[in-house]
Amino acid sequence: MDFDRWKQKRILVVDDEPGLLQMVVSILNQDGYTQIKTAGTMREALGVCQEWMPELAILDVMLPDGDGFFLFEQIKSFLDIPILFLTARGEDSDRLHGLGLGADDYLVKPFLPKELLLRIGIILRRFYKDEKPVVTLKGSQIDFSRAEVIRGGERIPLTAKEFEILQALYRNAGRIVTIDQLCEAAWGDNPFGYENSLMAHIRRIREKIEEHPSSPVSLLTVRGLGYKLTLADKE
């Protein structure tokens, strides 16, 4: 199963050029990556790594208070995450140095946005290939590999329809999923006439994932449009 979970990964971008940072963040946002932080110095980057625990780092080699190669070694000393060098230093010696340290890739500026996205996608799929998504909500978790909700130390099984509905909501976490889209996800290509059944399933899902089902904080109703799944704030 692929829920585009890679795009929920926390990404740190380190560069001392504000314009470059803004461009990379824009490229990532437009492709669906939602959790991104930036840093302009080595010191700032290490602080973000210690507090936020990114799951991918994109590093420039030239920084005002050090170089990206040293930053790479500092990050790797306490975080096991993939790292991509994105830098103007394209000499073979620099590229070989970065890859020799254990970097997952080395991309030279200027670059094509599509190439950056392809390389990031390859890195994330390769590094996290054995990961089974456990999604954290406020007060509970969804373990998609077991089709279970974890709440208060208890594992609560999901029915097949509940699983399909939550899968569709998670694929679009933070965005509205229409009633028709959810009915199609659960009942196939002819979803008409299942609105009441969907409401019943939503109610049962809330009983499993919400601490107070009548006042939901994770699975929200957007009146007249559909529903939205809100993940826990990881910041």
Q: What is the pLDDT of residues 221-231, one digit of tens each?
A: 999 899 999 99
Q: Give me 79's structure tokens.
A: 């975080």
Q: Please give the pLDDT value at position 5.
A: 65
Q: Please give the pLDDT value at position 168.
A: 87
Is residue 96 within 8 A of residue 70, CB to CB? The reply is no
Q: What is the pLDDT of residues 72-102, one digit of tens each?
A: 999 999 888 999 999 988 888 888 998 999 9
Q: Please give the pLDDT value at position 4.
A: 62
**CA separation for the pair 61, 40 (Å, rounded):** 12
Q: What is the pLDDT of residues 151-196, one digit of tens each?
A: 988 999 999 999 989 988 987 888 899 998 899 888 876 667 889 9
Q: What is the pLDDT of residues 112-164, one digit of tens each?
A: 999 999 999 999 989 887 666 788 999 999 998 788 999 988 999 999 999 98
Residue 4, amino acid: D
Residue 234 above 50 pLDDT? Answer: no
Residue 40 above 70 pLDDT? Answer: yes
In this prediction, residue 107 has a pLDDT band, given cuts at 50, 70 and 90, of very high
Residue 199 above 80 pLDDT? Answer: yes
User: Could you tell me how many helices (H) and strands (E) the chain has, helices first?
Assistant: 8, 14
Burial 158-184 (b: 16+ CB within 10 A, else e): beebbbbbbbbbbbbbeeebebebbbb
Residue 235 above 60 pLDDT? Answer: no
> Phi/psi of residue 68, each to 5°?
-65, -25
